[in-house]
Chain A
Amino acid sequence: MRVPFGWLQDFVKLDVPPEEVCDYLVMLGFSDVRVLPGEWDCLENFITGRVIKVEPHPSDANLKVVEVNVGYASLVSVCGAPNVNLGEMYPVAMPGSKLGSGRVVETAKIGGVESQCILCSGWEAWLDDEKDELLKLDSHIAPGTKLIESLRLNESIIEMDVTPNRGDCLGLIGIARELAAVFGKELIIPEPAVNEDGPRIGELASVEIEDTEGCPRYGAIVLGDVTVRGAPAEIRARLRQAGLRPINNVVDAANIVLFETGHPLHTFDLDRIKDGRIIVRRAKKGETITAIDDVEYRLVPDDVVIADPDGVVAIAGVIGSRNSEVGPATRRVLIEGAFFDHAFIWRTAKRLGIASEAAYRFSRVVDVGAVLYVLARTASLIQLDTKCNVSSGMIDVYPNPVLPRHILANPKRVNRLLGTSIPEQEILDYLERLGFMVSPGKDLEVVVPTRRTDVEGEADIAEEVGRLYGYDRIDLTSNHSRDSYGKYPDETVISRRVRDMLIGIGLNEAVTDATMGPDRIEFFGLESPELVEIRNAVGVQNSITRPSLLPGMAEVLVKNERLGQEDVGFFELGRTYSKKGEGFEEVARLAVGISGTSQPRAWHAKPRPFDFYDLKGIIEGVCEALGADIVFEPGSHEKFHAGRQAVVNLVKADNSSVIGYLGELAPDVCEVLGSKRRLYIAEIDFKQVREAVRGAGRYRSLDRYPAVKRDLAVTIPKKILESQVRSVILSNGGSLVESVKLFDVYEGEQIPSGTKSLAYAIVFRSSERTLTEAEIDSLQKDMEKALESDFGGKLRMKS
Chain B
Amino acid sequence: MDLHDEAKAAQDAARGEIQSCSSLEDVDAVRIKYLGRKGEITFLLRKLGKVPPEQRKEVGGLLNEIKVEIGSLIESRKQDLKQQKYASGASAEALDVTLPGRTFKRGRFNPTLKMMDDLVQIFVGMGFSSVEGPEIETEYNNFDALNFPPWHPSRDDHDSFYVGDGYVLRTHTSPAQIRVMKSQPPPVRVVVPGRCHRRDTPDASHLMSFYQIEGLYVDFDVSMADLKGTLAAIAHEIFGEQTRIRFRPHYFPFTEPSTELDISCLVCEGKGCRLCKHSGWLEVLGCGMVHPNVFEHVGYDPRKVTGFAFGMGVERIATLKLGIGDIRLLYENDIRLLSQF
Contact = CB atoms under 8 A, between A and B. Distances in A.
Contacts of A575: 135, 195
Nearest to B222: A479
B107 interface: yes
Given A417-B306, A486-B125, A603-B100, A471 B248 contact: yes
A499 interface: yes
B128 interface: yes
A538 B164 contact: no
Interface in B155-175: 156-158, 161-164, 167, 169
Nearest to A487: B129
A534 interface: yes
Nearest to A465: B257
A444 B318 CA distance: 46
A346 B156 CA distance: 11
A200 to B, nearest CB: 39
Contacts of A471: 224, 228, 246-249, 259
Contact of A542 (B102, B113, B151, B208): B208
A418 B164 contact: no
Given A419-B225, A563-B336, A487 B124 contact: yes
A479 B229 CA distance: 9
Nearest to A27: B248
Given A503-B107, A513-B209, A545-B163, A26 B113 contact: no
A510 interface: yes
Q: Which of A459, A536, A568 has the most CB of B within 10 A?
A: A459
Given A466-B249, A559-B333, A474 B102 contact: no
A488 B190 CA distance: 10
Contact of B109 (A499, A506, A533): A499
B62 interface: no
Interface in B182-222: 187, 189, 195, 197, 199, 201, 208-209, 219, 221-222
Contacts of B181: none
A753 to B, nearest CB: 38
Interface in A11-43: 26-29, 31-34
Interface stretch (A161-169, A326-334, A679-687, A688-696): A161-169
A506 B105 contact: yes
Given A459-B292, A604-B102, A478 B249 contact: no
Q: Interface on chain B toward A: helix, strand, loop, or mixed SS?
A: mixed
Interface stretch (A52-60, A379-387, A489-497, A784-792): A489-497
Given A462-B257, A476-B229, A505-B105, A514 B126 contact: no
Contacts of A459: 256-257, 289, 291-292
A584 interface: yes
B129 A418 contact: no
Q: Which of B100, B123, B162, B223 has the most CB of A within 10 A?
A: B223
B322 interface: no
B136 A532 contact: yes
Nearest to A584: B136
A534 B219 contact: no
B130 A489 contact: yes
B201 A584 contact: no
A420 B257 CA distance: 14
Interface string B290-326: 0110000000000000100000000000000000000
Interface string A488-523: 110110001001001111111111111100000000
A460 B256 contact: yes
B197 A532 contact: no
A556 interface: yes
Interface residues of B, number: 86
Contacts of A417: 223-224, 257, 289, 306
Contact of A29 (B105, B117, B123, B250): B250
A639 to B, nearest CB: 21
A512 B110 CA distance: 11
Given A479-B222, A559-B333, A489 B156 contact: no
A28 B260 CA distance: 12
Given A478-B230, A511-B331, A563-B334, A506 B221 contact: no
Q: Which of B161, B233, B292 has the most CB of A within 10 A?
A: B161
Q: Interface on chain A toward B: helix, strand, loop, or mixed SS?
A: mixed
A479 B223 contact: yes
Contacts of A699: none
Contacts of A506: 104-107
Given A480-B126, A503-B106, A586-B134, A568 B151 contact: no
Given A34-B278, A486-B126, A343 B225 contact: no
Contacts of B224: 417-420, 466, 471, 474
B192 to A, nearest CB: 11
Contacts of A476: 225, 228-229, 232
Contacts of B1: none
A768 interface: no
B251 A165 contact: yes
A132 B153 CA distance: 44
Interface in B242-266: 246-251, 256-260
A548 B90 CA distance: 59
Nearest to A570: B333
B254 to A, nearest CB: 11
B250 A31 contact: yes
Interface string A392-419: 0000000000000000000000001111
Contacts of A577: 135-136
A534 B160 CA distance: 10
Contacts of B151: 342-343, 346-347
A472 B247 contact: yes
Contact of B127 (A33, A485, A491): A485
B20 interface: no
Contacts of A492: 130, 132
Given A474-B228, A487-B129, A559 B250 contact: no
B223 A416 contact: yes
Contacts of A503: 106-109
A565 interface: yes
B11 interface: no
B24 interface: no
B338 interface: yes
Contact of B333 (A26, A342, A511, A535): A511
B229 A478 contact: yes
B221 A479 contact: yes
B97 interface: no
A479 B230 CA distance: 8
A586 B136 CA distance: 8
A608 interface: no
B334 A416 contact: no
Given A483-B187, A535-B164, A163 B306 contact: no
In order of increasing CB-CB distance, the 8 nearest A-B pairs are: A419-B225, A506-B105, A419-B223, A29-B249, A463-B257, A163-B251, A486-B124, A343-B151
Given A487-B129, A487-B130, A538-B208, 7 more contacts: A27-B248, A416-B223, A418-B225, A419-B228, A460-B256, A536-B157, A563-B336
29 contacts: A29-B250, A164-B153, A416-B221, A418-B223, A419-B228, A471-B224, A475-B229, A476-B225, A479-B219, A479-B229, A480-B126, A480-B230, A484-B127, A486-B128, A488-B130, A489-B132, A491-B132, A503-B109, A507-B107, A514-B135, A514-B195, A515-B208, A535-B164, A536-B157, A577-B135, A584-B163, A586-B134, A586-B135, A586-B136
Interface of A: 26-29, 31-34, 163-166, 342-343, 346-347, 350, 416-420, 457-460, 462-463, 466-467, 471-472, 474-480, 482-489, 491-492, 496, 499, 502-515, 532-538, 542, 545, 556, 559-560, 563, 565, 567-571, 575, 577, 583-584, 586, 602-605
Interface of B: 99-100, 102-110, 112-113, 117, 120, 123-132, 134-136, 150-151, 153, 156-158, 161-164, 167, 169, 187, 189, 195, 197, 199, 201, 208-209, 219, 221-226, 228-230, 232-233, 246-251, 256-260, 277-279, 283, 289, 291-292, 306, 330-331, 333-336, 338
